[in-house]
Amino acid sequence: MATPAPYIQLKKLEVAYNDYVSGLRGVSLDVNRGEFIFLCGQTGSGKSTIIKVLSCQVKPTKGDAVIDGRSLASVTPEEVPMLRRKIGIVPQDFGLLPNKKVWENVGYAMRAVGRSKHEVRDEVPAILERVNILHRADAYPTELSGGEQQRVAIARALINNPPLLLADEPTGNLDPGHSDEIINILLDLNSQGTTIVVATHDIMQVERANQRVIQLAGGMIDKGDHDEELLQHMHEDPLEFPTES
């Protein structure tokens, strides 16, 4: 029986922001459907660049990134919106609209992708319930804790019921308690079949989640695949990642 093709493939992926700054320098990686992976590394290691490539915010300079058989190197601007509807994106800064309530933030995104008011009314409560934030539906983002705001951002990323969720530092601004909540939500979504890619430097959460870990350094994969030695090293000195000699 043939092995199914990986859901995400990075093929010698290179991203150069300009002549002097490289985001990625030849990253190759396969992620299977339904997997949960952590991309770890220092600031500037390239983890957010991978998220940006996969969400079509940055185009590969060399090599390719493939999602579900679709090459992102050759994607046209007209195709990007439809591709993004198959990907939930949770940005680092939550990206919530302060003048809209929680349910309006989610509803606004749904309206932007062509859903009717009727659909918004019907579907928003269920989406908010999935991330345990329905009880704050009428609150404004400024009235929410960091963890609650992150849950709203995840809820918004789920409006298209995407098979892939990309989260950039979802626990970056949160205390350990709220970080646990967010990772639990992501693990729960993963258990329902959603492929999850998380860029993070939150070692405690990486260790606790016990999922696949890819460590990046200087735009390249340094170590990967749930390396005990790697986790041990990260735990001891989270700012000093081992680099290839």
Partner 1 sequence: MLDRLEFLLNEAFVSLRRNKWITFAAITTSAMALFIIGGFAFAYFGLASFAGNQESKFDINVFARTDASPEQVQALGKRLEKLDGVKQVTFRSKAEVWKEFQTENPEISSGLEIENPMPDTFNITFSDLKKAKDIVAYARKMPEVAPKDGVQYMGDVQALIEQVMSAIRWLGLVLGTVMLATGGILIYNTIRLTMVARKKEMRIMELVGATRQTVWTPLMIEGVAEGVMGALLATAVLWIAHSVVAKLLETSLSVIKVGEFPLLLTTIVLCLSGAVYGLVCSYLAIRERPTEELPR
Residues engaged in binding partner 1 (CB under 8 A): 55-59, 75, 77-78, 80-85, 89, 91, 95, 97, 108-109, 111-114, 116-117, 156-157, 159-160
Distances (CA, A) of 95 to 64, 120, 239: 28, 19, 27
Least distance in angstroms from the C-beta of 20 to partner 1: 17
Q: Which is nearer to partner 1, 3 or 18 (CB)?
A: 18
Least distance in angstroms from the C-beta of 133 to partner 1: 17
Least distance in angstroms from the C-beta of 113 to partner 1: 5
Q: Which is nearer to partner 1, 33 or 111 (CB)?
A: 111
Lookup: tokens for 60: 């590969």
Q: Which is nearer to partner 1, 31 or 89 (CB)?
A: 89
Least distance in angstroms from the C-beta of 91 to partner 1: 7
166 and 51 Cβ atoms separated by less than 8 Å: yes
Q: Which is nearer to partner 1, 168 or 222 (CB)?
A: 168
Q: How far is CA 210 from the centre of its chain?
A: 17
Distances (CA, A) of 154 to 90, 162, 176: 6, 11, 18
Least distance in angstroms from the C-beta of 86 to partner 1: 8
Q: Which is nearer to partner 1, 79 or 237 (CB)?
A: 79
Q: Which is nearer to partner 1, 55 or 200 (CB)?
A: 55
Q: Which is nearer to partner 1, 21 or 97 (CB)?
A: 97
Least distance in angstroms from the C-beta of 191 to partner 1: 24
SS3 per-residue string spanning the chain: CCCCCCCEEEEEEEEECCCCCEEEEEEEEEECCCCEEEEEECCCCCHHHHHHHHCCCCCCCEEEEEECCEECCCCCCCCHHHHHCCEEEECCCCCCCCCCCHHHHHHHHHHHCCCCHHHHHHHHHHHHHHCCCHHHCCCCHHHCCHHHHHHHHHHHHCCCCCCEEEEECCCCCCCHHHHHHHHHHHHHHHHCCCEEEEEECCHHHHHHHCCEEEEEECCEEEEECCCHHHHHHHHHCCCCCCCCC
For residue 176, the one-letter residue type is P
Least distance in angstroms from the C-beta of 161 to partner 1: 12
